[in-house]
């Protein structure tokens, strides 16, 4: 009986020590997509731009989208995974595949 009590106390102590070593950053599985417009001929300062992000396996549903005017950079925070981005401006459509990695910035230049 004494061994069971001592083993239980030891096990509980080990579990408390192990759980205190877990860092909350280990649970965060996000990265950043940054889109910049380096070619000012394709997107001018007064052009309406629409950016849509979708899962690479499900192109029917848009996860996140933004609409803005001009060629300013835009950023999205996304979970890790494989995605497609569709950039539409002035009759031009650009479709690019990319991968988001944990705590990394994926930069796409148009």
**Quick one: CA dihedral 51, 52, 53, 55, positive or negative?**
negative
The pTM (predicted TM-score) of the whole model is: 0.68
Give the β-pairing of 81-89 and 92-100: antiparallel
Q: pLDDT, tens digit, for every residue of 76-95?
A: 999 999 999 998 887 788 89
Q: pLDDT, tens digit, for every residue of 21-60?
A: 666 656 778 999 998 887 655 566 678 889 999 998 888 8
| CB crowding 11-30: b at 16 or more within 10 Å, else e | eeeeeeeeeeeeeeeeeeee
Domain over 27-109 is classified CATH 2.60.40.10: yes
- Half-sphere exposure in the Cβ direction for 41 (13 Å, CA): 0
């Amino acid at each position: 009986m004494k061994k069971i009590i001592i083993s239980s106390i030891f096990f509980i102590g080990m579990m408390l020590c192990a759980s205190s070593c877990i860092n909350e950053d280990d649970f965060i599985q996000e990265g950043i997509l940054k889109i910049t417009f380096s070619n000012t001929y394709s997107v001018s300062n007064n052009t309406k731009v629409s950016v849509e992000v979708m899962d690479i396996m499900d192109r029917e549903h848009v996860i996140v989208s933004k609409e803005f005017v001009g060629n300013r950079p835009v950023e999205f925070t996304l979970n890790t995974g494989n995605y497609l981005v569709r950039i539409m401006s002035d009759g031009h459509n650009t479709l690019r595949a990319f991968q988001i990695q944990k705590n990394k910035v994926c930069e796409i230049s148009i």
